[in-house]
Amino acid sequence: MSNLELNKETGPREVFCGLTSIVWLHRRMPDAFFLVVGSRTCAHLIQSAAGVMIFAEPRFGTAILEEKDLAGLADAHEELDRVINDLIARRPEIKTLFLVGSCPSEVIKLDLSTVAEKLNQRFLGKVRFVNYSGSGIETTFTQGEDGALKALIPLMESTEDNKLLLVGTLANNVEDRFKKIFSNLGIQIIESFPPRQSTQLPKIGHNTKVLLTQPYLSETVRDLEHRGCQIIHAPFPLGVEGSTKWFLAAAKAFKIPEDKVYDVISPLKNRAKQALESHVKILRGKRLFLLPESQLEISLARFLHNECEMDLIEVGTPYLNKELMEEELNLLPDNTKIVEGQHVEKQLDRVRESNPDLVVCGMGLANPLEAEGINTKWSIEMVFSPIHGIDQAADLAGLFSRPLKRNQILTSQTLVTN
Ligand code: SF4
């Protein structure tokens, strides 16, 4: 590992909870429904996080736990039963129903795994029920996906087929491009988890080679390993460098020579490097502060430093799984300051003291920082945008260069006006 400065911090946090991941998971699996068992606050969060999308029939909802439910478990069970019966009667197309726990359901100790078990017996063969927690007490927003995928693993059948399994939600077009490249490299079975249909879960076993597309899936990885899958350790496919090493690691696991990988990806790399140039002109030498939120921070820092020539002030991350992140950490420059966890007040003090050119942070912190004249980028945008792969490198850089360019234009207009 490079000579890094690793720190831990605890205290008040300012991050989204795991419910947020429903927004991209329900788009990925259109035959699944996500039922949050929570309060009106949870319902508001999910509605506003997904507010950019208009649905005739949304594929997520909330079974509201009222105050009286919080006083007695019996009432909560009744309400849940009523909502589920109504939902299944109205929506026969639902194949998998995720019961998503929240802070309120946790506080009243509602045992959603027992609820799911009973429902599975009642609706045998019609709908599958699985449960996981999206509660803000124990998850940050990308961890919701980790919980959802982990909950599906027991439903996956076994196989001895030699296959590549891409794990982590990707935009469909990005996934298609990755699969085409792996197929051109000669890999015969390439599957994704989560799949596009919740009922078409891939089979797994000792010859399944898992290649992660997202860094926030620690628990999923642990359970896949328990099922015998082999984990391919690699940096994540963000930017040209990360994606190249990601393809190379997969090729090595399938004994495909490096030359073949370069033959397939070199044209993409050349185009991507050219497309990056205009963004690097804006980003070069700019000082970056990443606050912890999505767990993508370390990969983003590596890309923005190594390929966009930004200087890293501090790289925050809500959790650091050193084993999964080892390849990424090795690519960071010496003396990079990494802070795991959060004490939001102290971190904001350090932001103000260091006067960065750009801060990557959650939506709740962006407005106050912008009001103080500090440029920000919402970290949630990275999980909603197709940023993976060599050919997306310039688009990824653009997410960071745009706010700086906009600011430059505004500053020059102000100067002219004055
Ligand atoms: Fe808030 Fe907890 Fe509900 Fe998330 S799960 S919206 S943190 S109450």
pLDDT at 394: 98
**Does residue 99 contact residue 88 with C-beta atoms inside 8 Å?**
no
Residue 121's alpha-carbon distances to 115, 125, 225, in angstroms, are 10, 9, 29
Please give the distance, rounded to the nearest whole angstrom, from the Cα atom of residue 83 to the centre of ligand 1: 20
**376-378: strand order across its sheet:** 5-9, 337-341, 311-317, 287-290, 358-361, 376-378
Report the percent of the chain where pLDDT is more than 90.
76
> Across all residues in the chain, what is the average pLDDT?
92
pLDDT at 155: 97
Whether the pLDDT of residue 217 is over 50: the answer is yes
Atom of ligand 1 nearest to the CA of 134: 5
Lowest mean pLDDT among 40-44, 153-157, 252-256, 306-310: 40-44
Which residue has the CA at smallest separation from atom 7 of ligand 1?
Answer: 136
Whether 49 is in the pocket of ligand 1, judged by its Cβ within 6 Å, is: no
235-254 mean pLDDT: 98
Which residue has the CA at smallest separation from atom 6 of ligand 1?
Answer: 42
Whether the pLDDT of residue 1 is over 70: the answer is no
Q: Per-residue pLDDT tens for 78-94?
A: 888 888 999 999 999 99
Report the percent of the chain where pLDDT is more than 70.
93
DSSP letter string over 198-255? TT-PPPB-TTEEEEESSS--HHHHHHHHHTTPEEPP---SBHHHHHHHHHHHHHHHTT
Sign for the pseudo-dihedral over CA of 380, 386, 390, 396: negative
Q: Per-residue pLDDT tens for 9-67?
A: 999 888 889 999 998 998 899 999 999 998 888 888 888 776 644 343 567 777 777 66
The residue type at 88: I
Residue 57's alpha-carbon distances to 25, 54, 294, 303, in angstroms, are 16, 9, 28, 39
Select from 102, 105, 110, 137 the residue to mutate for testing ligand 1; criterion: most ligand atoms less than 8 Å from CB.
102
pLDDT at 51: 60
Q: Per-residue pLDDT tens for 325-353?
A: 999 999 999 999 999 999 999 999 999 99
Q: Which helix (H) or strand (E) segment is 312 a member of?
A: strand 311-317
Whether the pLDDT of residue 2 is over 70: the answer is no
